[in-house]
Structure formats: structure tokens, C-alpha cells
Amino acid sequence: MQKITLGAGCFWCVEAIYKELIGVEKVEPGYSGGKIANPTYREVCSGLTGHAEVIQLEYDESVIDFKEILEVFFKTHDPTTLNRQGADVGTQYRSAIFYHNENQKEVAEKVISELENSSVFDKPVVTEVTEFTVFYPAEEYHKNYYKNNPEEGYCQMVVRPKVEKFKKVFEEKLK
């Protein structure tokens, strides 16, 4: 099993997507990339801790490789908006890849370069590629948030459309 830590906006959205992907065995929302230990959701939302909302996932490389993980990552959020995903604004919503080994770093940098050279996006990719240091799990009520709160407004208006789009685009990669 391999681990990767990804920030792509609100972790409720990212968790809901990756939980549906074949080869992904575990997905946990949390915080990474900041300057204080054991931050709370309220502290991270203040924008003062430097943490990003992330998901840490474990995946089986014999089923799905890292490049495929990144394909989902880049097609399910906007990697060209600095510190923002839709109406969610702040450094905690930045696009980030916290790599766990040199191979992940190399693949991430290569994929970003390919995206830039192919002009897939109208603007430059601002996704940070940073060495993983520490992951702090989110509070219990954030785990499986979309599954546990499907009728909540944010889930209806933001999470559900992202998950539905993901399922259409990656139909062959669903569990």
C-alpha cells in the first residue's frame, strides 16, 4: 500500500470522490502543511495556521497507480486558482500535493509540466508540490461527511455535483 496526501479544496468533496475510486483502500480527511501541532477545524478555517484541508489516502499500486490518482485530482478541482475552490476561499483550500516519496514528487512534477505544455487550462497550474511532513486527522464529524449528511445544503450544492461529475468521467474506475 502507498500513501499520498492531497489538498483540493474542501476535504468533504475530495473524500467523497476518492472513496469511490477502485484501488483506494482508505481515505481520511485532515490537515497538513501548517505550522502548529494538532490544529482544530476552527483554527485551520481562520487561515492563520498555514494548514490545508487535505485527504490522506492509501492505495494499492497493483490496482491503481499514482498517475491515475493525479488524473482524478486534476480533473475534479481547479488547480489554477490560488487559495480558492469555488466559493471556498483561503489558504486552507489551496491545491497541494504532499508527496511521501521521491517517485511521487517526480510524477507530480511531470504531470504538472505535461498539463502546462498541453494548455489544458487557460491559466497556470498553481498546485504546490511539497514534501509530506505530518498529517493531523480531522475531527470525527468530518469523516464520511457527505455520506452522513447528504441532505445538508453544502453537500447538495457543492459536493453532490462534484461527485456526480466524477462518476461520469471516471465510470470505469469506480468501485
Catalytic residue among 10, 13, 45, 155: 10
Which long-range contacts (C-beta less than 8 Å, at least 24 apart) are formed by 162-167? 162/13, 162/16, 162/17, 162/76, 163/13, 163/16, 163/17, 163/20, 165/76, 166/17, 166/20, 166/72, 166/75, 166/76, 167/20
Q: Which residues contact 56 (CB under 8 A, 6 or more apart)?
A: 3, 4, 5, 6, 27, 28, 30, 32, 135
Active site residue 10: yes
Report whether 13 contacts 95 (CB < 8 A). no
Kindly calculate the radius of gyration of the chain based on its CA atoms and give it in whole angstroms. 15
Catalytically annotated residues:
10
